[in-house]
A and B are shown apart, each in its own frame.
Chain A
Amino acid sequence: MTPLEITGSIFGSMLFFMALRFPIAISMFLAGAIGYVSQAGWLPFSNFVNAQAFARFAGYDLSVIPLFILMGNFATKGGISKSLFAFAASVMGGFKGGLAMASLLACAAFGAISGSSVATAATITGVALPEMKRHGYSGRLATGTLAAGGTLGIQLPPSVVLVIYAILTEQNISKLFAAAVVPGIIAMLGYMVAVAVYVRLVPGQAPEVDNDREPMTMAKVWGVLPILMIFSLVFGGIYGGLFTPTEGAAVGAAATLITAVCKGEMTLEKFKECFLGTATSAAMIFLIFVGADLMNAALAMTQVPNQLAAVVGSWGLPPLAVIGAILLFYVLLGAVMDEMSMLLLTVPIFFPMVMGLDFGMPKDMVAIWFGIMVLMTVGFGLIAPPVGLNVYVVNSMSKDVPMAESYKGVMPFLVSDVLRTLLFLFFPIVPLWLVGFIG
């Protein structure tokens, strides 16, 4: 078989196993094993597997992932979302569609201490959805807003997706986090604008005048202070050079736990659930790591990924067109595949290709910028039909809203996503601006 045929059969068998409902990680592992053994034989393969779990699980860089997940779980169970939403509702209450905007603000603030999009969507939905319904918001707008708002969990640092990208491409996590700040804030503002436009164009989605507005009180301001403090502690420490991202995650987890205990929200039962939740999420991510690792090793052996980079480079296409094509490919692949697996599988292939192109920027800046562009498509994939994980999660918490309504509800946010992606595609300075301040 030619290298191209081998590559084709590796991908083909992965898709075949996935279609059979095998876990994605296992599908990748099997396809990788077949590709590896057929090219190199059993002995090298078995030697590779001997140390694979150790190499993948016992790495310092990767230990940041379970710690950030744990921090997010403490935040989820710690009753932090209630005070966040109460504060946000008082801030945004005066606008038409104010509670939807408040949900977005709460998602963004929660996203600043949580690195998971699904967890952010689920947590804020728990407090915001009943309130929006009580105030007469349509199920469509409410669920659409919360599904989109959830993606702010990964758009703003800490972000599990960015950590994975940083590890795959050997980039600096702190710089990637810094690069995500401005795009994350723009994402939130863009979503708010989407709400403002939508409630004016489509009548009946939000109450005309909200008479039941809660005033701002000092208690509400106090309620959100801990979140501000945790965020400042973690990121101040990381950027102030006091600690590494992994240490920051450990400090963040401890601080979030202390906050939850002080709020009187953390029972022994919830504490246990936080660890069990962390167990499930971390196991899922790391098993995908193992599967993707093997598959990438098998693909690297065919030399096709390297040749692909050379071939694409020799075409002399405008670099932006190549990035555009990759992003489009991600949107299509993300429609059927889980976004995390998609990244682990494709970044090792696309990254060398992108790095081979000339954007008129230093290479490390290109690497960071591409990471942010990839993050945009992940966020898009999480809410876009036919399979938007966030939409599923929010919809499942809102039994009386049909799925089709929720997908209609995310449309304005998808438009906002596309516009934002184009902005960063043509103006890399927007995400890269803040990175310039970091040594």
Chain B
Amino acid sequence: MRILSSLANLCAILAGALITLITLITCGNLILRNTTGDSMAGAFEITAMSTGAAIALFMPLSQIRQGHIIVDFFTTGLSDATNGKLDKVGAFVLALVFGLLAWRTTLGGLSAYTAGSQTMLMGLPEWIVYAAMVPPFALTSLIGLRQALFGFDLTTESHA
């Protein structure tokens, strides 16, 4: 779990750096626009693309911290052991879903690459975002699989 956990942290740090970058670019662009009157055309495309990559990079850590909301209303009467087993099944299904996302996003990225899809104003190639999404999706799938087989190492965190 330690390697998976370090990788997940690394992803989150990368995502944090991207979000910081967005903040800086946005603020810089705003200052330019409201002072000199000129600004970077299409800065919003960088924001959208970086957010896309950042959100995907947030996924592994969220799974390690069991950040995804579950409904425990129906199973409060069951024993902790039974609920624990159900949670492992849930982690396994999540692993399958992220496996599917990793696989299909790879194909989506390949077709964006061959089609040469670009953003409208700045001409940023879209496949880069797909490429940034696949590793964290695959990692999230592995984390889910690890949790399904060996349980959850870290305690549950509350989500905001």
Contact = CB atoms under 8 A, between A and B. Distances in A.
Contacts of A70: 19, 23
A347 interface: no
Given A19-B74, A53-B133, A277 B56 contact: no
Given A24-B69, A26-B68, A57-B55, A247 B26 contact: yes
A387 B48 contact: no
Contacts of B70: 18, 21-24
Interface in B3-33: 12-13, 15-16, 19, 22-24, 26-27, 29-30
Chain B, interface residues (CB within 8 Å), range: 35 or more
Nearest to B111: A50
A341 interface: yes
B124 to A, nearest CB: 10
Contacts of B158: 118, 122, 393, 396
A26 to B, nearest CB: 5
- In the complex, which range does the number of interface residues on chain A fall in? 35 or more
A26 B97 contact: yes
A119 interface: yes
Given A21-B75, A118-B159, A251-B27, A283 B69 contact: no
B86 A21 contact: yes
A338 B160 CA distance: 12
Nearest to B20: A275
Given A21-B70, A53-B105, A54-B108, A276 B49 contact: no
B75 A250 contact: no
Contacts of A73: 160
Interface in A120-165: 122
Given A251-B26, A251-B27, A26 B94 contact: yes
Interface in B82-107: 83, 86-87, 89-90, 93-94, 97, 100-101, 104-105, 107
A67 B133 contact: no
* Interface class of chain A by DSSP: helix
Contacts of B52: 53-54, 57-59
A386 interface: yes
Given A21-B72, A275-B19, A246 B67 contact: no
Per CB-CB distance, the 9 closest pairs between chain A and chain B, nearest first, are A58-B52, A283-B62, A50-B108, A275-B16, A23-B68, A63-B51, A250-B26, A280-B67, A279-B58
Given A53-B108, A282-B54, A283-B67, 6 more contacts: A59-B48, A60-B47, A246-B26, A246-B47, A253-B23, A280-B67
Interface of B: 12-13, 15-16, 19, 22-24, 26-27, 29-30, 34, 44-45, 47-56, 58-59, 61-63, 65, 67-75, 83, 86-87, 89-90, 93-94, 97, 100-101, 104-105, 107-108, 111-112, 126, 129-130, 133, 137, 157-160
